[in-house]
Amino acid sequence: MQREQIASFQVQGPTCRTSNAAEFNPLNGRIGPLWQGFAASGLATEMSQVFGVYFEYADRHLGEYSVMAGVKLAPSEAATQRSVTIPAGEYLVFDCQGPMPAALIAGWGQVWAYFSQADAPARAFDHDFERYLGLDHAQICIGLKA
């Protein structure tokens, strides 16, 4: 994992509201169907930068939050559906390589284990995101409190 200063950018795409408790039950999970709908939507092209964004946290990681499966907008591009702005700031970046979604699920396990340590930096719980770099490579970027 590494710290990275990330500039603000915008992502657009479909969203859903869920919780970790709901996602642990395959019958209630909403993130899988969200990504299936995104894949079928045609929003992503070969040139698109794909992101999964976590935002609108009700109670840190304990309550509900919103998830967006989306693409990065160019600075001059207008959103055609819901968009969120990733705030500029310092993020802790966890690298996930291997078959997806298993590598990503393992990466989130690393995030939870790391932030459960007493000396871990404080999470902002504002906007966190997954940055997809290839079919078998993603990064989980966790916003840190300023």
pLDDT single digits (tens) 8-17 = 999 999 999 9
Domains and CATH numbers, the chain: 2-143 (3.20.80.10)
Of the candidates 41, 42, 45, 55, the residue with the CA atom closest to the CA atom of residue 10? 55
Q: Which two tokens stand for residue 122?
A: 């404080």
Q: What is the mean pLDDT of the chain?
A: 93
pLDDT tier at 26, thresholds 50, 70, 90: confident
**Residue 79 pLDDT more than 90?**
no
- Its pTM stands at 0.93
What is the distance between the alpha carbons of residues 125 and 61, in angstroms, rounded to a whole number?
8
Extended strands (E) in 1-146: 2-6, 9-12, 15-19, 50-55, 64-72, 83-86, 89-97, 127-134, 137-143
pLDDT single digits (tens) 53-77 = 999 999 887 799 999 999 999 988 8
Summarize the confidence of residues 23-36 as an average pLDDT.
89
